[in-house]
Structure 1
Amino acid sequence: MSEVRWLDGASWLKSGAAARVLNLLNGDGEEARVVGGAVRNALLNIPIGDVDIATTAVPEEVIRRARAAGIKSVPTGVEHGTVTLVMDSHPFEVTTLREDTETFGRKAKVAFGRDWERDAERRDFTINGLSVDAAGRVHDYVGGLDDIAARRVRFIGDPNQRISEDYLRILRFFRIHAAYGAGEPDRPGYLACINARAGLVTLSAERVRLEMLKLMVADGAAVSVAAMAEGGLLLPVFGGVAYPGPFSAMISIERALGLAPDPVRRLGALAVAVTEDAKRLSTRLRLTNAETKALDSMGHRWWRLGGMNEDTARRRLYRLGEDRYRDRLLLAWARSGDDSSSASWRQLATLPDRWVAPKFPLKASDFIARGIAQGPLLGQVLGLAEDAWLAANFPLDESALKAIADQAVGRFARDD
């Protein structure tokens, strides 16, 4: 039984690229609707990202209509019924209505159909099973409208069956709940995820990484992550210990400082205590080189940053750079047990906003002029001079710099 309601204020259904795609695919016995996340977000009055479209037309007919209208079409997943149409430089995934004939994860066999209800029933969550036609009528075959009103993320049909079709739905359950749900996760869905947690190890690292990084920055991430930890769902993902307490603290600290949520920084708070953790996560989630380096830096002796005076903090900031300094310091803060209102931690965390580290003013030429030949020794003298310059609190006057350079050269002369 379908429930139909009207979507108010959806001007993007009346004009613009999405409206033109719908107009192209409607008529001559075929129907097209917007489905999934765009409908959900529109009903929740939050920004709409990608607009996905479902149609009764088979892929060949979608391509034929696009070609006749001079619209670019790309057969991105034509074996599963998906064609991407590019309208005004915006890609629209257009997928023929489907129903599963055999289900075994991402390789499910599907048959094309014309039944909107059957198509909705094969999706993951009720709030993602809605569709809206070109006139603005929202069609609900699975109870998604009531669940959106209640901010409840619920599997369509039997949660165990939905999960067995694709174990990534375990992670999506918690990520979607963190982004759109309220309160504790739906109990039947939660228990089904726990029962099927062994299936997480079958997922590709790339798919797990994408879901986990999205989860890290969702508004309700702390609740979802705590539920995952309590249900034993983080161990098969990370392959090691997780720390929900510091993760929650990191979220509070970011908000107190007015910082944008950072997925890698939050991942570090959740799963990195030492640099070895960063290496393990890099392998488990197939992180990018930049992500791995950021986590490795966070885990490197973060405990030394607590209780620093301003001079020491400046030296740390100079050595690490703004991003590495802030990430490592916030990890130390999150693990300290101090709350997000701590004045001393805030003072350290906001140092990059108040002070910009100067560049080391001495050059290789300053030491060559003092008789140091190019080669390894020159690098050593430069390093020694830089250490002395930092210890002297970044002096820039000529007399102090001359003394530092002379002392560095003299040190090596004495050693010889």
Structure 2
Amino acid sequence: MMSLPSNPGQLALERLPAYTELRRLWAVLPRARLVGGAVRDLALGVDAADVDLATPEPPDVVMNILADAGIRTVPTGLSHGTVTAVLNGRGLEITTLRRDEETDGRHAVVSWTTDWREDAARRDFTINALSCDSDGVVHDYFGGLTDLAAGRVRFVGDPGERIHEDALRVLRFFRFQGRFGVGQADPEALFAIRAMAGRVRRLSVERVWSEFRRILRGPRADDMVMLMAETGVLQDVLPELLARGGVAEVQAAAERLARLVDSGAPREEYVGLAALLWAPPSEGAAADGELAESSASRLRLSRADQERVRAILQAPPMTPSQSDAELRRAAADTSVAVLVDRAWLDQALTAEPLRRGDASEGSSSRDCQPKAKDGLLDVSPDDAALPGDAVLRGEWSTGAPSKIRAQSGERETTGGPDANAWTTLRGRLSRLRAPEFPLAGRDIVALGVAPGAEVGRILAETGQWWRMGGCLADRGECLAWASRLIERARTP
């Protein structure tokens, strides 16, 4: 159960960072209401980040009213009824109440309505379907406040219909379940997600990564990724896992992420993604590396995040027993920040498998019984899982029970090398001054070697000698070694 303020139905609007601007908007649009996340967060008594409004007035009327009041507007999404009011340098979105006329699961054709309940009915979850008027009174049509207090994430109305309207709601469910859910996930939601998981593959990769990165950064990322694997969603977000090792690899990836979270690693999406995409050294390691790289590229991560994921996976493995010389050698070729990330990954990889609660204690989708409504949950061939879909059916190839645990359950610590030893290793790395090889090609040329392949050979051999010595030799010592190499090459 979550703790709500004594009267969540009457919100303290003055806590909002945009309260001054809101009062001015309400003065000219008195029927407008605060909607979405701001209402939910205020009801929980936490700071609200996004401040959005809805109103019965059509967008052209809204723009005229604001213009007459001297408020600048930007037509940010007129086809969906959204305009942005700009006050004191702050933009606040105002959207006309809508109904969906038709949708293909990604895009909707909407029309305007004056019915607040009708507008709320098209939102994803009950806790996001709340609205609040200028007096701070919350309007709750679908039991969102009760669900919020109970830690229950529930679709508005029929889950299959909500997912049919927008398949991104599958991923949003896991994000909100991780943040607000307590105990078992809603069984009707899980059944609909499992039956319609294939629709995630139709979404743009930008939308998919935008939600998935929030799941990786959010609370209970381990539980949510496990649940995504069990319901068949993880293989649609990262089809490379299924291509590389089938259902067993999907399960193994979720387990790696769980161990990473249990180790206490920072909630950085690139570290979590690296854990999911990691492959054990093998004859096919190069191909596996290319597969991981193609996944990061396919999801269109930022160039910096792609480089970070690639660097973590290609970094030399870390162990607490490594000597200072070994750490210096590693830091000569890889940034210390990446080595710290790699140490988190290797701690997770060397930990013993987690022992989690069975299905009766957690959120297993296998316990969900179907509730067909107007055929919306019928699985079409396009929705069916990829070959080897035991995950989608809730059947691990190992026959192991569900690894999802209730949020209220005890978290068991990972095994493997002592966590204190890994902490000490990361401390040593953080204090390490990354060594820089003191020579460049021009230094070899200055020693009398003509520009060309010989310069590269002398430089490479000197660099190897420098690394073997723990990266401690200074410029003078490196020049002396290079000179001996040159002399040796000239001696008949």
Q: Do these two structures clear the TM 0.5 threshold for a shared fold by scoring above it?
A: yes
Which stretch has the larger CA shift, 182-191 or 361-370? 361-370
* Contact residue 306 and residue 333 of structure 1 kept, 8 A: no
Structure 1 residues 122 and 36, CA, compared in 2 at 3 Å: closer, same or farther? same
Q: Deviations over 1:8-54 (max 9, x none)?
A: 3643389422333333322xxxx111100111112223332221110
Aligned pairs for 1:5-404 (under 5 A) are: 5-8=9-12, 10-12=14-16, 15-26=19-30, 31-239=31-239, 240=241, 241-242=249-250, 243-255=253-265, 259=266, 261-273=267-279, 274-300=288-314, 303=317, 307-337=321-351, 339=414, 341-397=418-474, 400-404=477-481
Q: What residue is the counterpart of 2:387 in the other structure?
A: none
Highest RCO, 1 vs 2 (Cα 8 Å, sep ≥ 6): 2
Q: Deviations over 1:210-237 (max 9, x none)?
A: 1100110111211111111112221122
Structure 1 residue 142: deviation in Å?
Answer: 1.0
* Contact residue 174 and residue 185 of structure 1 kept, 8 A: no
Distance 1:43 1:112 in 2: 28
| Aligned length in residues | 405
* Contact residue 101 and residue 109 of structure 2 kept, 8 A: yes
Alpha-carbon RMSD: 2.5
Which stretch has the larger CA shift, 402-411 or 224-233? 402-411
**SS across alignment from 1:195:** helix
Which stretch has the larger CA shift, 3-12 or 159-168? 3-12
Which stretch has the larger CA shift, 362-371 or 124-133? 362-371
Q: Deviations over 1:50-83 (max 9, x none)?
A: 2111011111122112222333322111011011
* Structure 1 residue ranges without an equivalent (≥5): none
Distance 2:33 2:485 in 1: 73
Structure 1 residue 302: deviation in Å?
Answer: 5.3
Structure 1 residue 131: deviation in Å?
Answer: 0.8
**SS across alignment from 2:138:** strand
* Contact residue 58 and residue 96 of structure 2 kept, 8 A: yes
* Structure 2 residue ranges without an equivalent (≥5): 1-6, 242-248, 280-287, 353-413
Distance 1:402 1:285 in 2: 46
Distance 2:482 2:277 in 1: 44
Distance 1:354 1:238 in 2: 36
Which stretch has the larger CA shift, 83-92 or 156-165? 83-92
* Contact residue 237 and residue 284 of structure 1 kept, 8 A: no
* Contact residue 33 and residue 132 of structure 2 kept, 8 A: yes
* Contact residue 54 and residue 96 of structure 1 kept, 8 A: yes
**SS across alignment from 1:227:** helix
Distance 1:6 1:331 in 2: 46
Distance 1:89 1:382 in 2: 56
Distance 1:195 1:406 in 2: 70
Amino acid at match of 1:315: R
Amino acid at match of 2:424: Q
Structure 1 residues 385 and 131, CA, compared in 2 at 3 Å: closer, same or farther? same
Structure 1 residues 284 and 369, CA, compared in 2 at 3 Å: closer, same or farther? closer
- Give aligned-pair identity as a percent: 35
* Contact residue 275 and residue 297 of structure 1 kept, 8 A: no
Distance 2:326 2:18 in 1: 60
Which stretch has the larger CA shift, 166-175 or 107-116? 107-116
Structure 1 residues 231 and 75, CA, compared in 2 at 3 Å: closer, same or farther? same
Structure 1 residues 62 and 191, CA, compared in 2 at 3 Å: closer, same or farther? same
Q: Which has the higher helix share?
A: 1
Q: Deviations over 1:138-186 (max 9, x none)?
A: 1111110011111111000011111111111111101111122222321
Structure 1 residues 9 and 85, CA, compared in 2 at 3 Å: closer, same or farther? closer
Structure 1 residues 370 and 130, CA, compared in 2 at 3 Å: closer, same or farther? same
**SS across alignment from 1:16:** helix
Structure 1 residues 346 and 413, CA, compared in 2 at 3 Å: closer, same or farther? farther
Which stretch has the larger CA shift, 218-227 or 386-395? 386-395
Q: Deviations over 1:224-282 (max 9, x none)?
A: 11111112221122112331222122123345xxx4x1111111112332413322312
Distance 1:14 1:383 in 2: 60
**SS across alignment from 2:263:** helix
Structure 1 residues 63 and 408, CA, compared in 2 at 3 Å: closer, same or farther? farther
Which stretch has the larger CA shift, 392-401 or 317-326? 392-401
Q: Deviations over 1:361-385 (max 9, x none)?
A: 2344432321123344333333322
Distance 1:170 1:162 in 2: 9
* Contact residue 132 and residue 138 of structure 1 kept, 8 A: yes
TM-score between both structures, scaled by the size of structure 2: 0.76
Distance 1:120 1:77 in 2: 19
Distance 1:411 1:64 in 2: 85
Distance 1:322 1:301 in 2: 10
* Contact residue 124 and residue 169 of structure 1 kept, 8 A: yes
Distance 1:211 1:14 in 2: 26
